[in-house]
Structure formats: structure tokens, C-alpha cells
Structure 1
Amino acid sequence: MNNSEGDSMSENHFCESEAILRALKDDLLVTDSTGKVVMISDATKALYGIEDKVILGLSVYELEKQGVFTPIVTPLVIEKKSRVNVIQTTTEGKKLLITGVPVFDDEGNVWRIASYSHDITEMVNIKNYLHDMQDEMERVKNELEVLRNQQMKDDGFVVHSDKMRKCIAIAKQVSEVDVNVLLLGESGVGKTYFAKMIHKESPRKDKPFIEVNCGAIPESLFEAEFFGYEAGSFTSANKKGKPGLAELAEGGTLFLDEIGELPLALQVKVLKFIQEKQFYRVGGTKEKKVDFRLITATNQPLEKLVAAKKFREDLYFRLNVVPIHIPPLRERTSDIVPLIEHFVQVFSTKYKRERVLDDAVLQRLYVHPWKGNVRELINLIERLVVVSPSPTITITDLPESYQQASAPDIETSKRSLPEIMEEVEKKVLTQARKQQKTTVEMAKVLGISQPSVVRKMKKHGIK
């Protein structure tokens, strides 16, 4: 075959390819190995908003400098000698998924680079929108969390643990109706705060909240203090008589704290009063009625007291309509550090002394058993803020019993200090892992960064 025939066939082949390309009406751009545009479809011209007389023969490197599109796929295909995908931005701001494919000559060299695209502008916009929405939702979530925690602080609570949130949710729900509520929990967990919150959230919030500590009033004086007395009822009595605490609760909430301490002889009288909501003053003959909402609380196991005949069963069932078990601080350790930080701020403001706790103190208090619960924590923080000589409260500022509290049981014989410290670290991390849901929460209570927590857990094989 002579050259003229070969040139004719090549020319015919080119015309045929171009005809096919135009018929397909697909997006296609072809460059040679130097980056010069040798072929471009009508769809591509429309996509970039250009004419072939402008772009044909130009280098894609020059077109990138002009801002027609960026980045360019040609050099990547030449470098990798394989299919390459990139996301390209046009001068009009469109987002295109570009696929570049190498075409090889007989010697295996890249001869042409063919690229085609898919307009993903809408998909990218949707992705960005969803990303923005996610950020916005996270922001709103954080704002709600701040507002929720602020509300808890206003009510006397700083809450992060699920157990405590559940208790508060129940308390807020029952506050709307005059059902009897029995608050159960150890001393210092916040039973009085719960009672006040229920009252504050109830329709009776504008009426009195009367607290009666059943364990603090002597048995011989209980009736006179609780029901009141008439003039001349007994020696040393007020000459005009005196209304009792029950009478003062008219229209409001009557809170009987430490109900488990009430002597059996008085339990029957209190039961009758609760059932009938009427009573006689000591020495009186005129029956008095009172409208109140009843809340009771105890740190005693009432069921066991009932079984031991130390607490009336009928009174127990009357009180135990809606029981709320408030967990001790050791069962909601995620609240410990937030509580500490909150009360440091409260007492710093109260006593005009800016104080902070260093990480070592936070870690030590985190593992403290807190037998006195929140009441113990509040008392300790107030003491530290008042007596600490410097703005930063350190281990040496802690009372001696807290400096040695909950030290891990570590065998020290024939072991180096680094070995002992490694075991202590592992035990503390293991305990924190059991008590916290995430490594972020662990980092917060341990006073270290989240990456440090992950690294240390991996080192000790903690999952």
C-alpha cells in the first residue's frame, strides 16, 4: 500500500471517528502526550462554555492557567499510565467527575489521553448542604445541651449520667399530677433537691413547700410540731397556740424527709392524716382540713423495715405510689467532674476567690468512693476554695483522708517504680472504661486528651 493510500485511509479513519463522536453526542476531550487538545465533542464545548476554534490546538496546561478548568487529568494519566479520576471545577463553578483514560501506541507509550466527565454539581451541592445541616444540627444539639445543663443547674443539678437523667425525667413527669412520690437513695444523693424540683414544676409551685425531717424531731414533740397545738395545751406552750407544719402546707407540697425514722406509734397517725387530709391540733377539738401534695424520702430500706415489723405496711403502700431511686455518686461517675467544676465556680463566685483544680486533684477525687455523695462533694469543694492558699488547688491542699482515698491495691515488693506506675495507670484506665461510654468521656474525667486515652488503652490492651 502506497503512502497516498495510507494517508487516505488515515484521513477517512479520522473523519469516521469524528462522525461517530458527533453522533454519540457524549462528552469527550482528547489530548496528545504533550497536553495539546486534538479533539473535543460538542457536549464538552457546551459543558465548558467554549468553542472548538478557541480550544483546539491549545494546551490543557494553558487552559488550567486561564481558569477554564482545574485540576487537569492529562499529566496524572501520563504519570500513572492508567485510568484516573479527579473532581474538576470549571470557570462557571461546576463540579465535574473527570475520568482520564490512556491510549497507547504500538510501542506501549501514551499516545492520546481521552477524558470524559459527569456533572456532579448537584450531588456536591447536596453533599455540602447535608454537611452544613449536620454542622447546624450539632450546633443546635450543643446549644440544647447547654440549656438543659443550665436548667439542671438552676434546679440544683448538674447531670451527665443516663441514670440521673432518667430519674429527673420521671420526676418532671410526675410533677404535673398530685401523685404521692417516694424518693429513695443514700444520704446526700439529693433527695431534697428532687422534692423541691417536683414542687417547682408542679401547679402548686406558687404555694408553700414545707419540709419535715421526721428523724430530727423528738418523738415527744412530733405531734405538737407536725399538727400544731391549741393555747394552754401543755406547759411552756405558746399562749396563743401554734399551727403545725402540716397546716402550713395548705395548697402546697408537704415533704416528709427521713420517713423511715418515724416511730411506729406515730406512723398510724401520719397514715390517717395522709388518707383523710384532716387532723386535730394537740389539745384541740375542731377538725382542720388541709390540701397538700405529698412527697416522702428515706435512705432506709423500707421493704426490709416492713418485713421486720418496724414500718407499717399500709403506710408503705400509701407512700410508694411512684418510687424514684436516686443513684449514689459512685454509680454515676460521669457526673463527678462536672459537679466538681460547677461547685468550684459557685464557691469561687460566692467567696470572691478564683480557684481551679489541677488534673491530679481531679483524678484523685474521681476515684474517691464519695460515701457522703453530693453533699460530701459540695462540702469538700467549699472547704478547698476557702482554705487553699493559691489559685490552683493541688493534692497537698486536700485533706489527708482524700489524699489517700481509693489508692489501688498494688504489690510493690521487688518491683521498680515505673512498673508500679504502669499497673496503676492500667487499673485507673480499666475502671474509667467500665464507667464511661466513650473515650471522650474518659478523657474528660481523667484530665487527659482523647488521643492519649486511646494510645494508653492500646498499650495496656484495654478494649
Structure 2
Amino acid sequence: MTVHPEKEWNEAEAILHSLQDDIMVTNVDGVILRTSETTGKIYGVETDELIGKSVYELEKEGLFTPIVTPMVLKEKKKVTCIQTTKRGKKLIVTGIPVFNPQGELVRIVSYSHDITELMNLKEYLRAMEEDMERVKSELIMLRDKHAFADGIIANSASMKKVLDVSTRVAEVDVNVLLLGESGVGKSHLAKFIHNRSPRCKGPFIEVNCGAIPDSLFEAEFFGYEAGAFTGASRHGKIGLAELAEGGTLFLDEIGELSILNQVKLLKFIQEKRFYRVGGTKIREVDFRLIAATNQDLTTAIKEKKFREDLYFRLNVVPITVPPLRERPEDILPLIEYFLKYFSEKYNRTKTLDGAVIQKLVYYTWTGNVRELMNVIEQLVVMSSSSLITVENLPSHIRAPYDSLSFGEEDHRTLPEILANVERQVLTRARKRYKTTFEIAKALGISQPSVVRKMKKHKIK
């Protein structure tokens, strides 16, 4: 049998089909003249079926888009683009013009590489970068923040009630509004609720609404895309809201927000969806909301400074933190706690003189727990000796305290000092209030405790 190699084997065709890439040859009208065997596999059809068909018709059928042929015809030079197939694959396609000896464009040769995995990897890396940026932002927010390792100190009945309500509400994802004077520990109570909630392993993102300029609030809170405005980072920025994914979003000083930003916040709270500034992609975030303020929001609503609908969104479970002056039982434990905390922090062994303890216990802490913490930190840092004396106290605390007087030099034991403090506080309260129920309410203890303590100190 005579074999005719030229009929059974074509060198050019063999070379074409040996290539693993998609190669396609069309005429200037876009009609496919030749393809490699890989082409059909990439587009999910039989390779032979492509011969004689127009790339324009195949694009209309959804087999691939965009097509490179018209681009090459227009540019008359090599063109590269990203093409998407019917199966969702991503291909990088390069079209090359072929000219005859007269300089006329007669053929377009295109070849492609499947970059689907590369695109997926790029998306994965982008998500990883966002996660890393999220962690970085969280670490920056947590840096240099004070945290009470032993939790909130609550010896008084009023604070015990606050902690009881906070513990119960922590178990469910209900919105909480913390009320109370500045410095009473609202942010710490918010962290207390977070740590006892099912979201405790997620982030705790604190947003001080009063510290962010009104014009920058949207960009800081929702984040922004690259080039969203003049001065914006070329990489864009993740907003504080987005950082709270899976955790707790704590909005401190909520009463400081402008009406315009209150509207944006209300929509976000309702939908838990938002756009970054300059962005077109809608983003969703899963979080638990806690807000806090030292303002009377009901008055602010009447004065048209706070939206009523936002107030009702926030005020699902209100918790009022009492000022330190209304819970004197907590003062001494707080003094001891802060003394130990700052002594360890600054590696200094410090003790308080009995007269210093008296002054601190009797002082009316208008700045609440924050003021007490700052004073103790100052005493630990500034005192030159291990024993902190009255001379080390700030002048406004060192001065005699109204009706409660005591000597500068006092060498009584701590139980004797505390008994004397309790007697004097009860004596003063007895003169101010008419009934033991009123005394109990003012001091944050039960009425039977007032009767028992007054009997102990022989106060009538």
C-alpha cells in the first residue's frame, strides 16, 4: 500500500495542534479559518464546529466577550484584552495583524492564556490585604488603651444592679444605650458587655463620635476607595464600621453627631449595608451595636438637635451608670485597684498614707472614675518616696473638705478610718434627707443597710 505523507500529515497543522494554547486565525471579516485543538476545550465546544463561523456571531451567542478582531482592525497593531467565556473563565487574549506583501491586513491571529486561577488568586490576595489592614487598624485602636483585667469594680448596690442588667443583656444582640456623666466608665461597661456576649471573640471597635470632625465622619466611619477625594490614600481605607465585622460597634458620645451624619448612621443601623466614599460596591457588615452619651437626648430631641427615630433605634435597652459620688462604697476598692495597676505598670512600689486615703474617699469626684484614675496615676508617677503623703495630693484635693474634717497626721488603722468615714457620710446624709429610704437611694445601698449602719454608729 502506497502511503502519501503529504495527504495524511501536514506539518503546519501538526505544529498548530501541538500547542497547548488557544490559537485562532480569522480573516478581516471575523470568519474563523483555523484553530488549535485546545480552542474548543477552552470555550466548551467542538473545535471543528468553530471553523467557518464569525466571531461576531459567537459573541452574540455568549461564547466569549469581548472579541479582539475589531480592535486589531482599528489599531492595525498587536492588541491585548481580558476576555470572559460562557463558562466564566478569564482569558488574556492577544490579537496580531498579518499583512500581505502589498501591506494590506489580510488575517488576524489571536492566542490566549487561561488566567482564571490567576484572577482568583488576585482576588484572594486582595481579600487577604483587607483582612491584614483590618487587623492592623484594630491593633492601632487597641494600643495604649487601659483595660481593667479584673473587670468593673462594683461594691455598691447601684453598680451591682448595672452589672446584673449588663450581664443579662450581653447574651442577646439587642441595641444598648449607656447613659451617665462623663468619666463614669461607659466605655468600660460596653467592653464588659462585649466580653460576655457570643461575639466576644470578634473585634470591639470604639468610635468617639465627638472626636471626629463632622466633615470627615463619613470617610472615617464608612471608609473610602482609592482616589475618592483630594488627599485620599491611593490604596483606599477600611472604615471603622467595616472593622466591626463579627464583633461589637461602640458609638461613644453619640449625642455629638450632626443631624446630617445622624441620618447616614440611622440608615446604616437599619440596613447594616453601606457604600465606601467614592465606591459603587455595596458592603454588608454584621455587628452588635452599643451607644453611649452623657447628654440628655430627650431634651436634644425637643431642641431638634437629635433625631427621634435614631433615638428609638439606639434606646432599646437603656442602662444608666451612676456617678461615683453616689456610690461611695466603690471609691476605696477603686483606689486600691488603680494603685496596684499603676504601681505594676511603672514598676514602682507605692503605698498610701492613712490621711491620703481619707482625703480621697471624702473628695467629691466630679470627674468620676476617670478623674480618680488620673489622680492615682499622677501620685504613683510624681511621688519621690514609696509612701504617698498628703503633700503629694493635688491642691484641690488636699484642701479641707467642707463639714468633714480630719488631721493631716493620722495613724489610725484602715478599719478605723473606714468606720469613721462611714459614720460621717451617714451623719451628713441624715441631715440632708428626711427618711432612711431617701438616704438609701442617695448612697446606693438598701434601706435595711442604712438602718443597720445608723444603729451601729448610734445616729438618730
Q: TM-score by structure 2 length?
A: 0.58
Residue matched to 1:288: 283
1:201-249, CA deviations, whole angstroms, 9 ceiling, x for partnerless residues? 1111111111111000001100000011111111110112111111111
Residue matched to 1:431: 428
1:156, distance to aligned residue in structure 2 (A): 3.4
How many pairs does the alignment contain?
Answer: 286
Q: Check the 8 A contact 1:368/1:405 in 2, yes or no.
A: no
Summarize the alignment of residues 95-110 of structure 1 with structure 2, pairs less than 5 Å apart: none
* CA spacing shift, 1:429–1:255, aligned 2, 3 Å: closer
Residue matched to 2:371: 376
Summarize the alignment of residues 27-106 of structure 1 with structure 2, pairs less than 5 Å apart: none
Residue matched to 1:274: 269
Q: Check the 8 A contact 1:155/1:197 in 2, yes or no.
A: no
Q: Check the 8 A contact 1:215/1:261 in 2, yes or no.
A: yes
* CA spacing shift, 1:333–1:321, aligned 2, 3 Å: same
Larger Cα-atom Rg: 1
1:425, distance to aligned residue in structure 2 (A): 11
Aligned partner (choices 182, 202, 224) of residue 207 of structure 1: 202
1:39-78, CA deviations, whole angstroms, 9 ceiling, x for partnerless residues? xxxxxxxxxxxxxxxxxxxxxxxxxxxxxxxxxxxxxxxx
1:84-143, CA deviations, whole angstroms, 9 ceiling, x for partnerless residues? xxxxxxxxxxxxxxxxxxxxxxxxxxxxxxxxxxxxxxxxxxxxxxxxxxxxxxxxxxxx
Summarize the alignment of residues 347-386 of structure 1 with structure 2, pairs less than 5 Å apart: 347-386=342-381
* CA spacing shift, 1:346–1:225, aligned 2, 3 Å: same
Summarize the alignment of residues 35-434 of structure 1 with structure 2, pairs less than 5 Å apart: 154-404=149-399, 406-408=401-403, 428=425, 430-431=427-428, 434=439
Counterpart of 1:206, as a letter, is K
- Distance in 1, matches of 2:445 and 2:266, equals 44
1:252-282, CA deviations, whole angstroms, 9 ceiling, x for partnerless residues? 1111110000011110110000000001111
Q: Check the 8 A contact 1:183/1:298 in 2, yes or no.
A: yes
1:394, distance to aligned residue in structure 2 (A): 1.6
SS of residue matched to 2:177:
strand
Report the identity percentage.
61
* CA spacing shift, 1:436–1:326, aligned 2, 3 Å: closer
* CA spacing shift, 1:425–1:220, aligned 2, 3 Å: closer
Q: Which runs of 5+ in 2 are unaligned?
A: 1-146, 406-420, 431-438
* CA spacing shift, 1:223–1:351, aligned 2, 3 Å: same
* CA spacing shift, 1:209–1:425, aligned 2, 3 Å: closer
* CA spacing shift, 1:309–1:390, aligned 2, 3 Å: same
Q: Which runs of 5+ in 1 are unaligned?
A: 1-151, 411-423, 443-449
Counterpart of 1:332, as a letter, is R
- Distance in 2, matches of 1:375 and 1:283, equals 39
Two-structure CA RMSD over aligned residues (Å):
2.8
1:347-375, CA deviations, whole angstroms, 9 ceiling, x for partnerless residues? 12222222222222112111211111001
Residue matched to 1:19: none
Counterpart of 1:430, as a letter, is T
Displaced runs of 4 or more, over 4 A: 424-429
- Distance in 1, matches of 2:244 and 2:366, equals 33
Q: Check the 8 A contact 1:185/1:327 in 2, yes or no.
A: yes
Q: Check the 8 A contact 2:158/2:445 in 1, yes or no.
A: no
- Distance in 2, matches of 1:153 and 1:306, equals 35
SS of residue matched to 1:154:
coil
SS of residue matched to 1:233:
coil
